Amino acid sequence: MRISTIIGGGLLAGIAGSAMACDLPKLAVIPPKDQVAGKEAEIRAAAGAYFTGMQAYTACVQAELAGAGGDAAPPIVKRVLVARNNTAVAEAEFMMKLFTDNVGPVEAAPVDSVPTR
């Protein structure tokens, strides 16, 4: 029993250590719709930074899962990392809805700025 406790503790410490490498971005402040006027550019910049940071965070978590063995990772490691990824995606989806409802649709990149082959 003692050896399993030591192994389990080491495994959890490893998960915690690797998770520290993946930093959640700071939430963007998205005010109510009636308080957005005149602040659109600032809100869009903060939201853009948040969404870019969230993409980096989920990529980091997914890389950690791949590094732990992917589908062959120990079940607890896989469960924790998948839960972190899914929670981050749910948060980003909520923030996107809040942003769209209060500020407006996300501006797409102009067609001329999209690289082609």
Tell me the pLDDT tens digit for each residue of 84-100. 999 999 999 999 999 99
Q: Which residues contact 74 (CB under 8 A, 6 or more apart)?
A: 11, 68
The domain spans of the chain are 2-105
The least confident of 23-27, 99-103, 112-116 is 112-116
pTM of the full structure: 0.73
Q: Per 3-state DSSP, what percentage of the chain is helix, strand, and coil (rounded to 5)?
A: 70, 0, 30
Range 4-19 average pLDDT: 59
The three-point CA angle 99-100-102 to 5° equals 65
20-61 pLDDT, tens digit each: 589 999 999 999 999 999 999 999 999 999 999 999 999 999
